[in-house]
Amino acid sequence: MANGDYEVKKSLLGKPKVVYKCTKCQNGLESDLADAGTTDTCPLCKAQFVVPGQRELKEMQDAEKQAEVERLQELEARHQKAADEKARKEQLATEKARQREEKMRQEDEELLKIGKEYEEEQRAQKLQTQRDQHEEALNRALLGPRKPPKEAAPSDYTTKSVLGVLLVIIGIIVFIASLIGRGEISDSGQLNAAECAYLGYQITCSVHTMLAACFLLICGCVLLVLWRLDRLVNK
């Protein structure tokens, strides 16, 4: 940057410097831009002078200050962003913890409710059992002990049914035999006195046989009816 009698340049290392001439002997001189505004002596004529470049030095200092301000602002923004992210994560973790606690609280309340319902059910069953026992004791005191109904053994059912069927079959056979005997008696013709007596005896036997057959049929039918009634009662 050239400005009148001096020029601002950068050294090989990138450091700004001021190139100017001595005001007395016009000797070429160089100074660091940071020395602008200070008093120096010419090495040739020993004249004192003020190093130029104060305006450039001020501009450079202002630019450095602005860059520092921007750097600090950027750093502050990063810190603020990190703080916001940390706060967001903490808030999220707090919300998850709250939801987890709320879920555990609801589960505890549900378990407590189930436990109370179970206790109430057990208490109700116990009261019902005590009430039934009290009613049974009262009925036993008023009516006497109840005898359990006697169940007929399966063998009794079988005996009654088989015996009834056998009696019916025998009665039918005897009845048919008596009918056949009466048919033979009715077919006989002229008989003498002895044969008539024998015929009367046969008629009497035939009547008795028919009565016996009827009795067997009735007994068999009664046994079958009783067997059927027992089956219906004990179903």
Confidence label for 108 from pLDDT (cuts 50, 70 and 90):
very high
Confidence label for 152 from pLDDT (cuts 50, 70 and 90):
very low
146: pLDDT strictly greater than 70? no
pLDDT at 219: 82
Average pLDDT over residues 114-122: 91
pLDDT at 79: 92
The domain ranges of the chain are: 2-52, 65-146, 154-185+192-233
Average pLDDT over residues 68-89: 92
153: pLDDT strictly greater than 70? no
Instruction: Using CB atoms within 10 Å of the CB of residue 40, give its burial: 0 to 12 exposed, 13 to 18 middle, 19+ buried.
Output: middle
pLDDT at 198: 54
For all residues of the chain together, what is the average pLDDT?
A: 79
pLDDT at 191: 47
pLDDT at 169: 81
* Among 40-49, 150-159, 187-196, the least confident range: 187-196
Instruction: Output the pTM of the full model.
Output: 0.36
149: pLDDT strictly greater than 70? no
CA 59 to chain centre: 76
pLDDT at 2: 46
**CA–CA separation, 206 vs 118, rounded Å?**
81
pLDDT in tens, 11-58: 777 788 888 888 888 888 888 888 888 888 888 888 888 888 888 888
Confidence label for 160 from pLDDT (cuts 50, 70 and 90):
low
Q: Which 3 state secondary structure label does DSSP give 37?
A: coil
pLDDT at 135: 85
With residue 48 as reference, give the H or E element that holds it: strand 48-50
pLDDT at 82: 93
Retrieve residue 9's tokens.
Answer: 């340049």
Confidence label for 136 from pLDDT (cuts 50, 70 and 90):
confident
Q: Which long-range contacts (CB under 8 A, 24 or more apart) does 208-216 make?
A: 209/174, 209/177, 209/178, 209/181, 210/174, 210/175, 210/178, 210/179, 212/174, 213/171, 213/172, 213/173, 213/174, 213/175, 213/178, 214/171, 214/175, 215/171, 216/167, 216/168, 216/170, 216/171, 216/174
